[in-house]
Amino acid sequence: MLEKRRNFLISSAATVASLILGSFAGLAQSRKKSLPDPPTPGDPQQRDKLADPSNPKTAEQSKVKNRERQFREDVDKLVQVSNELREELNTAPAANVLSVKMYKRVQEIAKLAKQMESTLKG
């Protein structure tokens, strides 16, 4: 009888100890949890405004975005200038001499191409 009582007390003490330790572990984990980070805005411009400029990863991402934006603007301008040159060539008489205006357009296209190349190189 004494043996049964002893086994019962040991198993009860072990159960109580595991419950107490489990509740302390749960409290420690709940204290470590803090408020979650706010969700990122869906608007990319708002996301750029809220970005931390001191963070090197964010700074690099903003540089890449600015470079990409500048490159896209340059491509649009290059297409526009080349289309204007094509229209001038189509309307110009078939002569062996090109006008100064066309030559300036070709120089502008070359300048834009060099600018785009430097933008890509970073």
pLDDT digits (tens, 9 = 90+) for 34-57: 777 776 666 666 665 665 667 777
Contact indicator for 52, 58 with CB cutoff of 8 Å = yes
Distance CA 49, CA 65 (A): 13
pLDDT digits (tens, 9 = 90+) for 82-121: 998 888 888 877 776 677 888 888 999 999 989 888 887 8
pLDDT at position 110: 92
Kindly report the number of other CB atoms within 10 A of residue 105's CB atom: 19
Torsion of CA 111, 114, 118, 121, to 10 degrees: 160
Q: What is the pTM of this model?
A: 0.51
**What's residue 34's pLDDT?**
73
